[in-house]
Amino acid sequence: MGAPHAKYTEIHEHDEQPKITWRSYVWDSLDKSPEERKLVFKLDAFILTYASIGYFIKLLDQTAPVNAFVSGMKEDVGLYQNEFNYMQSLWAIGYVIGHVPSNMLLTRIRPSLWLPILEVSWSVLTLCTARCRTASQLYWIRFFVGLLESGFYPGLQFIIGTWYRKDELAKRSSIFQCFAPLATIFSAFLMSGVYKLDGVGGYRGWQWLFIVDGLLSLPVALVGFVMLPDTPETTRAWFLSPEERVFARKRMQLEGRKGRQPYSLAKFKKIFGSWRVYVLPLLFILYTNGTNGRAGAFVLWLKSSTEPKYEVWQVNIYSTIAGAVEVAATLIFAWTSDTVFRGRRWPGIVFAGGSNIIIYISLAIWEIPLKWKWACHSLAGIGYGLAGLLYAWAHELCSDDFEERALITGAMNGMGWAVGAWLPLIVWQQVEAPQFRKGYITATLLSAAMIVMALVVKKLHERQNQK
């Protein structure tokens, strides 16, 4: 390959992170050399674009069964008992068990092959869902859709951590994450539009929803074969010059982020002998389950309200406020972490946890002024916006072990979903809606535990850096 051209050595070799001026508070690459700025622009244009659009499409598919169920699938397929819950549970089982194996495969299979293959496969199965006539057919398809989808989110978070420097990480992880609430907001509007196709071509509206989802996803999946650059040490990306490939590896070397190493018994002993493999997934579990998001509490409160009484369209629109707050909070946490706090991740986590405590204690009391209740439900979105920070922190903490970083970034989301599959059945029971006293108390306790755990990780991080 040879040495990079001299102009590609203009990097902050003696700094742990690049110097920051006011321009970097707007966008981190503005203070970097023209060559590094060009490289980062290419990475954003290809990795971040594919990741964000692909995640948006995946979330549309993830929300499609709920919209389809209330739009005719229940009657057409005969889901009159607990069949729908079984179908969703089987999807969740597939989704949970696939995270870690998929991420570990990413350390040995080119991501530009593995991740698009996953997306093509679940896109085809999504199209097949439109032809399902029995509950058992839905069970099988949704299980495998969950299994295939499980590798996408942690896989792209892993890829982001493989290419970006510390002052770039939180923003990219968080921009990627922002497409989750955006997909949730968009899905309701998509369903209302697609349902007008009811009867066209002999298909019902709910069937058209799966057809449209699959047709949207397939082109994105195919583009992934040429947009993903694999890892800096294995990349064959057509859009990176040989000098830029060497330069990209140098950037990661300066961050102390190691490349692939052989699997061995000593490797696994090292990974499972580390505090990181236990503490980081636990911190993510506290984050993902320390909010009211999965209970749909805001929507259920709006639906149950009699003074005032809200129309259906008002419920659908107003309930998106928390999602908009989540987007804003996610971006604010990312920008302040990468700039004002100089790469520190814990301040945003502590702030969000403190906000959760105030909000959920208020909602647990319940008999509070209407305007404050509105504010609590809306501002609950603040607590949803931490995933980007947590992944950025995990990448930094696991920099010296490529395989450990893959395992932990897979386990974080997988374990969060594993706990989230059963905890709501206990503390967010629908019969207790909209007050959810047990749920709000639980969210308060988990948020307090998240603050404590973030401070523990901060201390452990400091000790790790001293070694």
Section 231-246 average pLDDT:
94
Instruction: Give me the percent of the chain exceeding a pLDDT of 90.
Output: 59
Shared-domain flag, residues 43 and 184: yes
Q: What percent of the chain has pLDDT over 70?
A: 93
Whats the size of the chain, residue-wise? 467
Pick from 205, 230, 260: which residue ends a domain? 260
Q: In what helix (H) or strand (E) does residue 162 lie, and over which residues does it extend?
A: helix 152-163
**Host domain of residue 456:** 261-467
Burial of 6 from C-beta contacts in 10 A (0-12 / 13-18 / 19+): exposed
pLDDT band at 38 (very low <50, low <70, confident <90, very high): very high
Is position 12 within any domain?
no
14: pLDDT strictly greater than 70: no
- The vertex-61 CA angle with 56 and 63, nearest 5°, equals 95
User: Helix or strand or coil: residue 251?
Assistant: helix
Rounded Cα gap, residues 447 and 5, in angstroms? 50
Residues 118 and 238 in one domain: yes
Tell me the pLDDT tens digit for each residue of 305-336.
Answer: 878 887 867 777 788 888 889 999 999 999 99
359 shares its domain with 436: yes
Same domain, 297 and 382: yes
The per-residue pLDDT for range 239-292, each reduced to its tens digit, is 999 999 999 999 999 988 988 888 899 999 999 999 999 999 999 999 999 986
Query: Using one digit for the tens of pLDDT, what is the confidence trace for 85-139?
Result: 788 888 989 999 999 999 999 999 999 999 999 999 999 999 999 988 888 999 9
Q: For residue 225, which amino acid is it?
A: F
Query: How high is the pLDDT of residue 314?
Result: 78
Place of tokens 């679940």: 122
Compute the distance between CA of residue 288 and CA of residue 51 in angstroms, rounded to an integer. 21
In a domain, 409, yes or no: yes
Mean pLDDT within 398-415: 95
Same domain, 211 and 333: no
192/325 same-domain check: no
Number of structural domains (the chain) is 2
pLDDT at 15 over 50: no
- Confidence at residue 293, expressed as pLDDT on a 0 to 100 scale: 64
Domain co-membership, 117 together with 55: yes
Q: State which of 231, 260, 289 marks the end of a domain.
A: 260
Q: In the listed set 260, 286, 321, which residue is the last one of a domain according to the structure? A: 260
Encode pLDDT of 454-464 as tens digits.
Answer: 999 999 999 99
In a domain, 18, yes or no: no
Q: Do residue 314 and residue 412 come from a single domain?
A: yes
C-alpha 45/C-alpha 155 separation (Å) is 18
pLDDT in tens, 178-215: 888 888 777 767 766 777 787 788 888 888 888 988 99
Domain check: are 334 and 196 in the same one? no
Same domain, 253 and 278: no
Do 209 and 351 lie in a common domain?
no
For residue 48, give the CATH number of its domain: 1.20.1250.20
Same domain, 239 and 315: no
- For the chain, what is the mean pLDDT? 88
User: Does some domain include residue 2?
Assistant: no
With a cut of 70, say whether residue 46 has pLDDT above it: yes
